[in-house]
Amino acid sequence: MPKRKRKSRNASASEVGVEDDVLLRATAPLQLCYYGNPVLRKRAKPVAEITEAERQLAVQMLETLYATGNGIGLAATQVGILKRLIIIDIGEDDDDTYEPLVLFNPEILRTEGDVVAEEGCLSIPNVTAEVRRPEKIVVAGMDIQGESVHIETDGLLARVLQHEIDHLNGVLFIDRISGLKRQLLRDELLWIQQAERPA
């Protein structure tokens, strides 16, 4: 059996579907915001028009995601920017046509069923919990070109979409677990919160 190909983890303009005449500069990863940072509790604003600045932000967010080494999704809120933009790369390495997902103004139109699965968050390092969420969802939004996108999905993609859309509303996955379970994570959460606070 052939070895699974490892896709290169660099966000390039072509990979996210930006036309060749749009020049995107290579930039350093953005600074992640961690639990305890008040920005994570704010509601992000809709993006009225996708300009080069928004496309640039999407590419920078992908770079930031790949720099983490293990992340599969990021909301603009997590880099301190209150715009309704999420990016997802769940790494379908065996599919040559696979592209990371860039979604502006994502909105959940329909949900069906429910399922429990483990989640973590780049803004809450080393904390995981089982979270119950709808199993199938229909999401609408705009891609990096400003075209309407309609996604009907389940499984990991449905979960990551819901997790990232939650971020745009100031909601964290730990808000969706029982008080008792959250109590068990209290020390870890306090530790992250104190590390985030300016000295």
Least spacing, CB of residue 124 vs Ni ion, in Å: 7
Is residue 121 near Ni ion by the rule CB under 5 A? yes
Task: Considering the complex, state which of residue 121 and residue 177 has its C-beta at the smaller distance from Ni ion.
Answer: 121
35-43, 115-123, 126-134, 146-154 -> range binding Ni ion (CB under 5 A)? 115-123
Least spacing, CB of residue 71 vs Ni ion, in Å: 9
Decide if 140 contacts 150 (C-beta within 8 A).
Answer: yes
Shortest-Cβ-distance residue relative to Ni ion = 121
Tell me which residues in 123-142 interact with Ni ion (CB under 5 A).
Answer: none
For 75, the 3-state DSSP assignment is: strand
Amino acid at 150: H
Task: Considering the complex, state which of residue 13 and residue 124 has its C-beta at the smaller distance from Ni ion.
Answer: 124
17-25, 90-98, 120-128, 152-160 -> range binding Ni ion (CB under 5 A)? 120-128
What span, in angstroms and rounded, lies between the C-alpha atoms of 92 and 90?
A: 6
Task: Considering the complex, state which of residue 18 and residue 157 has its C-beta at the smaller distance from Ni ion.
Answer: 157
Interface with Ni ion: number of residues (CB under 5 A): 1
What span, in angstroms and rounded, lies between the C-alpha atoms of 44 and 77?
A: 7
Query: What would you report as the CA-atom Rg of the chain, rounded to the nearest whole angstrom?
Result: 17
CB atoms within 10 A of CB 102: 29
DSSP 8-state assignment for residue 107: E
What span, in angstroms and rounded, lies between the C-alpha atoms of 130 and 122?
A: 16
Q: Catalogue the active-site residues.
A: 164
Least spacing, CB of residue 67 vs Ni ion, in Å: 15
Task: Considering the complex, state which of residue 121 and residue 139 has its C-beta at the smaller distance from Ni ion.
Answer: 121
- CB-based contacts of 93: which residues, under 8 Å, 6+ apart? 4, 5, 6, 7
Least spacing, CB of residue 183 vs Ni ion, in Å: 21
The residue ranges that bind Ni ion (CB under 5 A) are: 121
